[in-house]
Amino acid sequence: MLTLEPRTAGPLRQVLTPVLAIVATMIAGGILFMLLGKNPVEAIKIIFVDPLFDAYSRSELLVKAAPLALIATGLSFGYRANVWNIGAEGQFILGAICGGAVGLAFYGIDGWFVLPLMAVAGMLGGFAWAMIPAFLRTRFNANEILVSLMLVYVATLLLSALVSGPLRDPDGFNFPESRQFHDSATLPILLQGTRVHIGIVIALLVSLVGWLVLQRHVFGFQIKLMGAAPRAAHFAGVSTNRMVYLCLGISGALAGLAGMFEAAGPVGQLVPSLPAGYGFTAIIVAFLGRLHPAGIILASLVLALTIIGGETAQYLLQVPKAAISVFQGMLLFFLLAFEIFTRFRLRRSGAGATA
């Protein structure tokens, strides 16, 4: 009988884990593409290499990575404390709805205050949506994984209902979409000719603040203590309920801010197709980045690369979109698999042999 025995993971093992996961994903993905009748080498090259040599793709890399980094930084707070927010996609949508609604309320008004108001509204929207699983867990011991996940579908339907009703463009020929945001409600572009917006800078600043909080603040210490030794955290006076509210609140607010950035940036309006899966992909980013803000920045660029390269592969090789999603899912699978063997040693019980 095989059992897992805990062992200490050195720094080198921890650094190598995500690298090995990426390599394993490329190999397994190549086999997948070959089974689909595509050239595996060409497909991997299109996904991982070609975007790096194209100026527009490089700028899009930043555009795609910004919301991933924002959401994953928030998620890392909860995951370190064993608070599992799987519904960042729903909080992303609520942030877009609330921020977009404020932008539409001030439609036609040219004021510097519009964007900050939209950002605050977006963060509050994501925060409020994350408070639902927090309340249900602390009050009724409900599983926050299931609650936050189910709220994603509620948020998606809410967005569709709003852009088909109260927020619909009156001059939009009955299409389910809002007005295009006014210039004062759209994010400033940093590089002309691209979609690189100021949200990218804010994502970097948030990651820096996240690192400072986790490494230098007592709150970060409490988060890590609660995740590593819950009983010790309890005896040290750390309130579990308070940590649940704070961790879910932070991740919800950052996911909401990312949603507002997406609506007021690349999309420029509220549409039913706004949910692009950033909330789910950010879960992979958080773990690929080892729940560390600096690692999350690098991981968000890697996942953004697969998104851009995957879209190109769909166009050039006619690879199904589902295959690209499976490809990204493989990354999380291999990451968790290597993580297990980093933290545990496989033993054959009875015989005492190590595998």
Parent domain of 306: 39-318
Residue 132 within any structural domain of the chain: yes
Total Cβ atoms within 10 A of residue 273: 10
> 269 falls in which pLDDT band (50, 70, 90)?
very high
Do β-strands 2-6 and 353-354 pair in parallel, antiparallel, or remain unpaired? unpaired
Q: In residues, how long is the chain?
A: 355
> 275 falls in which pLDDT band (50, 70, 90)?
confident
Residue 100 within any structural domain of the chain: yes
pLDDT at 16: 82
Q: For the range 151-155, what are the long-range contacts, defined as Cβ-Cβ under 8 Å and sequence gap of 24 or more? A: 151/87, 151/90, 152/87, 152/89, 152/90, 152/93, 152/279, 153/90, 154/90, 155/89, 155/90, 155/91, 155/93, 155/94, 155/97, 155/129, 155/275
- The whole-number average pLDDT for the span 341-353 is 70
CATH number of the domain that residue 207 is part of? 1.10.3470
pLDDT at 124: 97
pLDDT at 355: 42
- The whole-number average pLDDT for the span 242-264 is 95
Residue 45 amino acid letter: K
Residue 17 within any structural domain of the chain: no
Residue 240 within any structural domain of the chain: yes
For 168-204, what is each residue's pLDDT tens digit?
A: 998 888 889 999 999 999 999 998 888 899 999 999 9
Instruction: Name which of 3-17, 169-183, 219-233, 297-311 the model is least confident about.
Output: 3-17
**Per DSSP, which regions of the chain are E strands?**
2-6, 344-348, 353-354
Token pair for 102 = 């404020």
**CA–CA gap between residue 339 and residue 350 (Å, rounded):** 25
Residue 74 within any structural domain of the chain: yes
pLDDT at 153: 94
pLDDT at 333: 87
Structure-model confidence comparison of residues 14 and 63, the more confident one: 63
**Residue 294, pLDDT above cutoff 80:** yes
**Residue 349, pLDDT above cutoff 80:** no
DSSP 8-state assignment for residue 187: P
Instruction: Name which of 41-50, 84-93, 125-134 the model is least confident about.
Output: 41-50
For 31-45, what is each residue's pLDDT tens digit?
A: 998 998 888 899 889
292's torsion region: left (phi>0), alpha (psi -120 to 50) or beta? beta
**CA–CA gap between residue 278 and residue 258 (Å, rounded):** 9
Given a contact cutoff of 8 angstroms between Cβ atoms, the answer to whether 155 and 255 are in contact is no
pLDDT at 354: 46
Structure-model confidence comparison of residues 330 and 93, the more confident one: 93
Residue 256 within any structural domain of the chain: yes
Given a contact cutoff of 8 angstroms between Cβ atoms, the answer to whether 113 and 185 are in contact is no
Model confidence, pTM? 0.90
Closest C-alpha among 47, 67, 65, 57 to residue 327? 47
**CA–CA gap between residue 347 and residue 355 (Å, rounded):** 6
pLDDT at 353: 52
Tally the domains of the chain: 1
**CA–CA gap between residue 271 and residue 319 (Å, rounded):** 26
pLDDT at 146: 94
191's torsion region: left (phi>0), alpha (psi -120 to 50) or beta? beta
Instruction: Name which of 3-7, 186-190, 222-226 the model is least confident about.
Output: 3-7
**CA–CA gap between residue 254 and residue 217 (Å, rounded):** 19
Residue 92 within any structural domain of the chain: yes
Residue 67 within any structural domain of the chain: yes
Given a contact cutoff of 8 angstroms between Cβ atoms, the answer to whether 172 and 179 are in contact is yes
Rounded to the nearest integer, the mean pLDDT of the chain is 90
Token pair for 116 = 């900050």
Instruction: Name which of 80-84, 305-309, 338-342 the model is least confident about.
Output: 338-342
